[in-house]
Amino acid sequence: MRVLVIDELAEDLEERAEILRDGLERAGHEVVASLSSPLELLRAVERLRPDVIVIDTESPTRDVLEHLVIVSQSSPRPIVMFASDSGGEAIREAVRAGVSAYVVDGLDAGRVNTIVEVACARFDELQRLKVELADANLKLSERKLVERAKGLLMQSRGISEDQAYHALRKLAMSKKQRLGDVAQQLIDSAELLGKA
Amino acid sequence: MSLVPNAVRTGAWAAGSDAPEKKEVKIGFIPLTDCSSVVMASVMEFDKKYGIKIVPSKEASWAAVRDKLVNGELDAAHVLYGLIYGLQMGVGGPKKDMAVLMNLNHNGQAITLSRKLYDKGVVDGFTLKKLIDKEKADYTFAQTFPTGTHAMWLYYWLAAHGINPFADVKTITVPPPQMVANMRVGNMDGYCVGEPWNNRAIVDKIGFTANTTQEIWKDHPEKTLGCSAEFVQKNPNTARAMTAAVIEAGRWIDASLVNRQKTAEVVADKSYVNTDKDVIVARMLGRYDNGIGKVWDDKDYMKFYNDGYVTFPYLSDGMWFMTQHRRWGLLKEDPDYLAIAKKVNRIDVYKEAAAMTKTPLPKEPMRSAKMIDGVVWDGKDPAKYAGSFKVKVA
């Protein structure tokens, strides 16, 4: 089967297409990617004649596909897969994972479900990786701030690195703030006073 | 002024068997000026008065609004009248029993044509028809959702000028905030959408207003406060409270130009419509400029209450969308128009909310209007009406 993946941004698109390829090409499906600008998308659908279209549930472009669904009942174009399954577990799962799928009428439901399941699982995985990456980035930038704040304290108060760290932590705990936030405030005030 | 203190009156509604079953309701909306009464019900805390908290939720597409109404992720939504009926009938997608609690607004959408067409002498529907007859080309027109109101206004308007929307031109669906950008790069010749995206095309000098939708049908129905029938069945008190809060917000918006101005300021924010306040405010106050030399004060601007004329869910309004779905082949046969409208449009819930808000009720659940092509719609013989159009698909 030919699967078309649609996304708003070029970088996200390749990422999404890649994770789907990984799961689906081994099973003999072909994965093609397209950007979501309405006319580009319509041309891509006409040219590629996909059996299944996978798109982010929150994409504004979904409405463009809805029109195709309505006007192309006689030609092999996508229709909403959830037509026969409205309110069911499949749609809930797909929406939660951020996947909407549009498929050609008359396809083997089992095979389509496999594609959507793979898409859901992969999108979940992608989402988890993104959250992890954001977390790691936050921690990294916090560590940098704490390092700088420690340096400022050591310099101005003539204390050891260990003492500086404990001073910061005590302040953070007493103000019920994140260590990174307290460090940022200290750096800001030092800059204001021309000491940084 | 009532002699009973406010807190006592609202307390009465929030107590005993009248207490809302669900205290916090998530109401979806699409960034358009006509989401105003839903947003203001929350911002001005009219919701609190009726014992609920409205949480407006910005949605990216009508398809997402539909899916979330079906799976319960949204409790209710600012939603296209036609979409609710399309969902009720299962047109091109899921089928689910739906409810129209009230109509949110009258008027305030428009048909925008490109400057490129203007340069070829097109100023209205008649000159557009002339050009299409004379110069063969791919003319592309956009609306916002296949079963929605803008699709129906666009098709009606084209057909009223002898242009078949499916045979003579190409029609596509484009999300409202993307309309202007797509016209700018020459992707389309015209579109029908809600404000502020018609005025935006004029401010950006890429298009002009050929007709407002109030010229197609004065005081036409547009967005509804919609939810699933299941939601009303499980939460009748919440449905009533929600309707009352939004009716009251609509009344507040319509009460003065100052309130309208303030509403425009609130909804222009990036959490709602996300555009310049000035682009919203002009047409919100009825100050129209068609972009090609005509400037006027429109008394039929976008209204949210109008003494309850806007908010009442007229059966003839609901039926009209089915007649047009039938006309354009979205419905393959005539449904039982009246029975379905009676089931979907929850006049029972509305009446209770109207009593709570002291909103006047009309004498009849039907109303009559003369459209741009001179044809009268009064809800009396929907099947005959649906089949009577010369330009059609079905």
Beta bridge partners, B55, equal B26
Q: Concatenated DSSP letters for B186-247?
A: TS-SEEEEETTHHHHHHHTTSEEEEEEHHHHSTT-B-EEEEEEHHHHHH-HHHHHHHHHHHH
> Of A37, A60, A87, which is closest to B61 when you measure between CB atoms?
A60
Count how many domains chain A has. Answer: 2
Are residues A103 and A161 part of one domain? no
A108 pLDDT band (50/70/90 cuts)? low
Angle value at C-alpha B302, between B299 and B308, nearest 5 degrees: 95
User: Using CA atoms, how far apart are residues B65 and B344, in angstroms rounded to an integer?
Assistant: 18
Residue type, B133: D
Length of chain A: 196
CA A97 from centre of chain: 10
Considering only the beta carbons, identify the residue of B93, B174, B182 that sits closest to A80.
Answer: B93
- For residues B183-211, average pLDDT: 95
Q: Do residues A115 and A183 share a domain?
A: no
Question: Do A66 and A106 share a domain, yes or no?
Answer: yes
Query: Which of B89, B98, B145, B173 is the best residue to mutate to test the A interface, defined by the most A CB atoms within 10 Å of its own CB?
Result: B173
User: Among A132, A156, A183, where does a domain finish?
Assistant: A132
Bridge partners of B69?
A: none
A81 shares its domain with A110: yes
Residues B309-340: pLDDT tens digits?
A: 999 999 999 999 999 999 999 999 999 999 99
For residue B46, the domain's CATH number is: 3.40.190.10
Q: Are the Cβ atoms of B172 and A38 closer than 8 angstroms?
A: yes
Helix (H) or strand (E) holding B29: strand B24-29
pLDDT tens-digit map of B272-320: 999 889 889 999 999 999 999 999 999 999 999 999 999 999 999 999 9
Contact A81, B59 (CB under 8 A): no
Q: Indicate yes or no: CB of B71 within 8 angstroms of CB of A91.
A: yes
Q: How far is B32 from chain A (nearest CA, A)?
A: 14
Q: Is the domain of A127 the same as that of A154?
A: no
Shared domain check, A152 and A94: no
* pLDDT over 90, % of chain B: 88
Last residue of a domain, one of A132, A149, A175: A132
CA atoms B268, B273, B279, B282: torsion sign: negative
pTM reported for the whole predicted model? 0.82
In a domain, B180, yes or no: no
At A71 the pLDDT is 67
Min Cα–Cα distance to chain A from B182, Å = 8
Residue B30 lies in a domain: yes
Do A23 and A112 have their domain in common? Answer: yes
Q: Which helix (H) or strand (E) holds B102?
A: strand B98-103
Q: Between B170 and A86, where is the model more confident?
A: B170
Beta strand pairing status for B190-194 and B140-143?
parallel
Please tell me whether residues A93 and A171 are part of one structural domain: no
Cβ separation B64–A57 shorter than 8 A? yes
CB contact under 8 A, A62 and B61: yes
Domain span at A184: 136-192
- Residues A52, A92: one domain? yes
Residue in chain B closest to A72 (alpha carbons) equals: B92
Q: Do B61 and A95 touch (CB under 8 A)?
A: no
pLDDT in tens, B102-131: 999 999 999 999 999 999 999 999 999 999
Model pLDDT for residues B15-46, shown as the tens digit of each residue: 457 899 999 999 999 999 999 999 999 999 99
Same domain? For A22 and A118 the reply is yes
Residues A148 and A127 occupy one common structural domain? no
Q: Given an 8 Å threshold on Cβ–Cβ distance, is B61 in contact with A59? A: yes
Q: What is the pLDDT of residue A50?
A: 78
Number of domains in chain B: 1
- pLDDT, one tens digit per residue, over B341-381 is 999 999 999 999 999 999 999 999 999 999 999 999 999 99
B10 falls within a domain: yes
Q: Inspect the interface and report whether the beta carbons of A38 and B147 lie closer than 8 Å.
A: no
User: Model confidence at A110, in pLDDT bands (50, 70, 90)?
Assistant: low
Phi, psi (degrees; rounded to nearest 5) at B150: -65, -35
- For B307, the domain range is 6-106+220-289+300-313+327-364
With CA atoms as reference, the chain A residue closest to B328 would be: A71
CB neighbour class for B108 (10 Å; exposed up to 12, middle 13-18, buried from 19): buried
Average model confidence (pLDDT) across chain A: 75
Which has more pLDDT, B216 or B64?
B216
Residue B170 falls within a domain, yes or no? no
Please report the beta strands in chain A, taking only residues with DSSP state E, as ranges in sequence order: 2-7, 30-35, 52-56, 78-80, 99-104
Q: Indicate if A124 and A158 belong to the same structural domain.
A: no
ipTM of the complex: 0.84
Most A-contacting residue of B32, B71, B89 (CB-CB within 10 A), to test interface? B71
pLDDT digits (tens, 9 = 90+) for A34-65: 777 788 888 888 888 777 787 777 778 888 88
Encode pLDDT of B148-167 as tens digits.
999 999 999 999 999 999 99
Are B40 and B259 in contact by the 8 Å Cβ rule? The answer is: no
Give the C-alpha separation, B284 to B233, whole Å.
35
Q: β-strands B140-143, B223-228: how paired?
A: unpaired
